[in-house]
Each structure stands twice: as C-alpha cells, then as structure tokens.
Copies of this chain bind each other. A is one copy, B any other.
C-alpha cells in the first residue's frame, strides 16, 4: 500500500517476460502504436503523447525545460514536499518560480491562482501539482484553472504523477497543455517510464523557444520520431510491454469505474481511521483519493506504526517527508486495490496503534470502512 511503486498485477509482470525486440523494427512499431493509443485513452487526449524512459521527475523536467527560456517566469503551486522540489527544479531550467503557496495539508485556491496569472502576465507557464503525494492533497480547482489558462497566454502544466489513472483528469476537456505522469503509480506498472502529453498551444511555444537546453528531453525530436512511429532513443522495451498490458486492463475496467473504485477505497480509509479516532492531514474538501495521509496518534512516532505493520502484516506504507516528518503515515490507494486490501489495511492500523499505546475504537473503525466499501459495485477482478 505504498504511494508508489504500487502493486503490479501478475498479468503486467508476466508481460515483461516477452522477448526483447529491436526498437527500430516493425514489431516494436506495432507494440508502440497500440500502447500509445491505449495510454492516450487513459489521458483522454487526442493530442500528442510522449513516452520517456525516466522517472516522473524526468518528465516534469522535459515538460518545463522545453517551454522555458532563461529568465521566464513560471507560476508554481507549492503545498508540500514534491511541489517544493518542483519549484526548486524550475530554477535549473533557467526559469524564475513564482510561488502560489498553501499550508501543508491544504490546497491553493483558484482566486490565488487567478491573481497570480493577472499579476504576472508574462509568465510562460503555470506548473500545477494536482495531487501532492507528501500530504495527500488533491487540488480540486483544476478544471476551473484550465478554463482560466485557456483564456490567457499561459501554458498549463500539470504534475499528475501520483494521480493520473486513479482520478478524473480529462486532459483535452480540461485544457491541460502539458500533463505529466509516471508508470509506477496509478498506471500499475513497474517504475521506469514517464509521460508528457503536449497540446497544440504547447507545441507553438516549444517551436518558438530561444534555445534548446537538452538533447535527451528535446520534445521536438520526440515529435519527429513519433511521426515515424518510433522513439529517438532506446526505450525500456520490457516496461513498454508492461504498459501495453496495464493500459489494456485499465480500459477493460473503464475509467469511470476505476475512478469510483479509487474514491470508495480511499474514503473507506478516511472513514475507518476517523471512526477509530485518527485524523487525516488533508482538509476535507482536498482529500486525495489516491494517497491518504493519516496523522499518527499524539506521542507515537509514525515510523513505529509503519515498522510494526510491515513486520506483522507485511504491508508497506509511505513515511513522512519534510515539515510533517514523524507526524503522518501515507497509505497509497493506487491501481490494483480493492475491498480486501482496504479492510486488511484498516485492521492493521487499528491493531498496530493499539499495540503502541493508543486506544483506537476498533469496532467503529472497521464498521465505517466496511460500510463505505459496500458502495463498490462488485469484487475487483484482479486477474
């Protein structure tokens, strides 16, 4: 139950065993075409999609570096560890970050973003962390923000690393110009691939950039090779096999059904832990449905809870980072997760906190989780 890398279904693992093929031949071209097509359906985009061999940070770099000239202002939302990292990274691309902040556990508001766009009319892009993995916060104003950016000369770049494929994000409908994610979160693949979707508006900006600052992440080169059906550099072929299988499974389940499953599972964790006396870090209206950050009971260091749960129940949680260090643990609800995993998780939290001296209301917690899970249409068919 880590907030990435997540459980990879056996079907996806087995797909990686297919024999390696040359990445300049017709077999690869066919595989790549099908996989791209399926992944675009998950992105809900008819625009271009680039698959990179890198972690999500590489894709973020690719998206922003290609549109940033030295000295360009980039507005960036900062409300946790990963968005802080992103605002730091922007400086490496020659950009000047203009921070729109919120307390950890909270989301920046649309009014703040609107003001920033008005106050910085020359800003090249707005880099928006849709789901802050370190605090379990989803910034819910993305659709409104997309409309706003569509009406201004500014690109909307969305870091959707820990959410795409697990919660609603129709890239074209919501006017997202550059949408970034990675393979090892809600796309339920092993880590190693990352993605950038590119809108027409983004291509225009990329074509008029002053200097190219990277060869490996040069989007124009990817575009050129994409037209032939290939990648400019050797791709991680085994991981493309995995992605082919995983995106196939995602489309089999259906995007709406999938997002609903994630939401119900996450709410079962929030409701279950709340009923037993624990709280979430995130404000209620911004709670993420792909990662739940739960506060450790007062006086108990969160790593003790995680270690106990790992050794006794074999379940791995994410730890705490930055300014909430020691205070929260994070439960990933990504990809291949259903009622059995959630009930085991809630039960393990109850037992471990009890063993460490907290007095959880165990019965209430389990009942609340079970009741929430009853909203799931049917048992998840994982295989």
Contacts and interface: CB of A to CB of B under 8 A. Distances in A.
A5 B88 contact: no
A177 B212 CA distance: 26
Interface in A50-98: 53-58, 61, 65, 88-89, 91-94
Contacts of A13: 17
A321 to B, nearest CB: 9
Copies of this chain, tallied across the complex: 2
A216 B55 contact: yes
Contacts of A16: 16-17, 238
Interface centre among A4, A94, A182, A233 (most CB of B within 10 A): A233
A23 B7 CA distance: 13
B4 A234 contact: yes
Contacts of A190: 20, 236-238
B236 A236 contact: yes
A53 B233 contact: no
Contacts of A23: 5, 191
Contacts of A58: 53-54, 58, 216, 233
Interface string A180-204: 0010100000111000000000000
A156 to B, nearest CB: 20
Contacts of A218: 92
A232 B58 CA distance: 11
A53 B58 CA distance: 9
A315 to B, nearest CB: 11
A7 B316 CA distance: 35
Interface string A1-37: 0101111100001001100111111000000000000
Nearest to A3: B22
Given A234-B5, A236-B192, A239-B192, A55 B53 contact: yes
A55 B191 contact: no
A338 interface: no
A213 interface: yes
Interface in A204-242: 212-218, 232-239
A319 interface: yes
A4 B23 CA distance: 9
A121 B41 CA distance: 54
Nearest to A231: B55
Nearest to A161: B234
Contacts of A215: 57, 61, 88-89, 92-93
A328 B216 CA distance: 27
B57 A216 contact: yes
Interface of A: 2, 4-8, 13, 16-17, 20-25, 53-58, 61, 65, 88-89, 91-94, 182, 184, 190-192, 212-218, 232-239, 316, 318-319
Given A55-B233, A56-B233, 5 more contacts: A22-B316, A53-B192, A54-B216, A57-B232, A58-B58
14 contacts: A2-B22, A8-B20, A20-B190, A21-B316, A53-B54, A53-B192, A55-B216, A57-B233, A92-B214, A93-B213, A191-B236, A192-B238, A216-B217, A238-B238
8 nearest A-B residue pairs (beta carbon):
A192-B236, A89-B215, A55-B233, A190-B238, A55-B234, A92-B215, A58-B216, A57-B233
